[in-house]
Amino acid sequence: MKKIFFVIITIILLSGATYLTDKLFLKTYSDPKISSKNKITKKSSVKNDNSQTTTPQKSLPDTSSDVVLVNKTHKLSKNYIPSDLRTVKVKFASYAASNVRKMRANAANAAEGLFSAAKTDGITLLGVSCYRPYSYQEEVYTAKVKKDGKTEADKYVAEPGSSEHQSGLAMDLLSTEYTDLDDGFAKTKAYEWLKQNCAKYGFIIRYPKEKISITKYDFEPWHIRYVGTAAAQDIMQKGLTLEEYLGITD
């Protein structure tokens, strides 16, 4: 009898403990205050994980576009080389290096048209420098920094990867009237002709004197950039920079 009584008491105690445990379990997951607190804690932990994610870097410029933006904050890949480069069939300055006389096909065609039109109007333009690979720009920039210091170099010379010359869409030019690559070219008939006519052939004066705060480069009257006729005419008529035209002035 004692054994039977002991077994019955044990069963009763175990049943009571199970009941209390189940009740507490149900309360924990049905009580709005408790469940709400659990959700907030979970959400908070996710937020903390996200806050540790690094900010994504800017994507590389779209080199397939004629209006691709290449500047100090929008750089080309070290390995980028245009696939359609060809020698521009125009007259170059006698000191122009033979390995910097190429442009992308559409820009080269436009440059030849520009030079021809200038010739018809009595202006003999001279090419100075077109496409320059990353490694070439690296040498130019390093030499300028050693000669004049970084602050002065950054006014005119682009760091490797940030030079429009690597895009194959830019050209430095002068004329038989003036053959020094400096601001003096702005006082020539050739420069005045360029301002009035370059857009007809898809080119713009890339670094205007009044837009230094936007382009971050000093005035370069000798540097033209191919962007296509529609964009060029819009930019030149409105007195914009490529940055302003694209709405990217960071």
Catalytic residue numbers, as ranges: 220
| Distance from C-alpha of 93 to C-alpha of 115, rounded to nearest angstrom | 13
The structure tokens 């559409």 sit at: 106
**What are the respective helix, strand and coil percentages of the chain, to the nearest 5?**
55, 10, 35
Host H or E run for residue 125: strand 125-129
- Residue 98, classified by CB atoms within 10 Å of its CB into exposed (0-12), middle (13-18) or buried (19+), is exposed
Q: Is 143:108 a contact under the CB 8 Å cutoff?
A: no
Structure tokens at 59: 């994507």
